[in-house]
Copies of this chain bind each other. A is one copy, B any other.
Amino acid sequence: MRTRDLIVEFPTVTMDTPALEAARLLAERDLPGLILVDDAGLPVCILPGTQVLRLAVPAYCREDPALARVVDEAHADLFLRQLGGRTVRECLPEQSRELPVADMTATVLELAALMARTRSPLVAVVDDGRLAGAVTLQSLLDRALEL
Tell me the A residues contacting B by CB distance below 8 Å.
1-2, 23-24, 26-27, 30, 32, 48-51, 53-54, 56-57, 61-63, 65, 68-69, 71, 73, 75-80, 106-110, 112-117, 119-121, 137-138, 141-142, 144-145, 147
Check B79–A112 contact: CB distance below 8 A.
yes
**3 closest cross-chain pairs (CB), A and B:** A76-B109, A76-B107, A27-B141
Check B77–A147 contact: CB distance below 8 A.
yes
A23 to B116, CA, bound (A): 13
Check B69–A112 contact: CB distance below 8 A.
no
Q: List 10 A-B contacts (CB under 8 A).
A: A2-B73, A23-B145, A26-B141, A49-B138, A50-B119, A50-B137, A65-B114, A69-B110, A76-B108, A77-B109
**Within the complex, what minimum Cβ distance (angstroms) separates A96 from chain B?**
16
Give the nearest-CB partner of A33 in chain B: B121
